[in-house]
Amino acid sequence: MFIDNFMPSIDEADLKDGTMKMVNVSGKDILLARIGNEVFGVSNICPCRGCDLSKGKLEGYIVSCPCHDWKFDVRTGVYLKTNKKVLTIYRCKIENGKIHIEIF
Ligand code: FES
């Protein structure tokens, strides 16, 4: 039998389109960003100096860090300036009214 690693987190209704929120699942701080009916998950700590990305700004698929304005694509974890993946990405899905996050 196949068992996946998706864990339930917050209710879908608690994350509106165009907003983001930090959740803690299995001891990991994960930034969830919702765009339309898709939810993207990335590590919440900015690799620059460790600021809380959930306190930043979301514009389209791009989250800006509140501290020094580094910008990341929530779909890929890529830092736009260098085009390198620097954030851990977590696959998310919406099921039975909840957002589920793949934990590894
Ligand atoms: S801590 Fe995020 S840009 Fe510096």
Q: Using CA atoms, how far apart are residues 88 and 78, in angstroms rounded to an integer?
A: 9
74-101 pLDDT, tens digit each: 999 999 999 999 999 999 999 999 999 9
With a pLDDT cut of 90, the percent of the chain lying above it is 95
- Placement of tokens 């879908």 in the chain: 12
Query: Looking at ligand 1, which atom is closest to the CA of residue 70?
Result: 3
For the Cβ of 55 lying below 6 angstroms from any atom of ligand 1, the answer is no
Tell me how far the alpha carbon of residue 41 lies from the centroid of ligand 1, in angstroms: 18
Q: How many CB atoms lie within 10 A of CB 96?
A: 8
Tell me how far the alpha carbon of residue 5 lies from the centroid of ligand 1, in angstroms: 30
For the Cβ of 87 lying below 6 angstroms from any atom of ligand 1, the answer is no
Q: Using CA atoms, how far apart are residues 45 and 7, in angstroms rounded to an integer?
A: 20
Domains in the chain: ranges and CATH:
6-102 (2.102.10.10)
Contact 58, 21 (CB under 8 A): no
Question: 1 pLDDT exceeds 80?
Answer: no
What is the model's pTM?
0.95
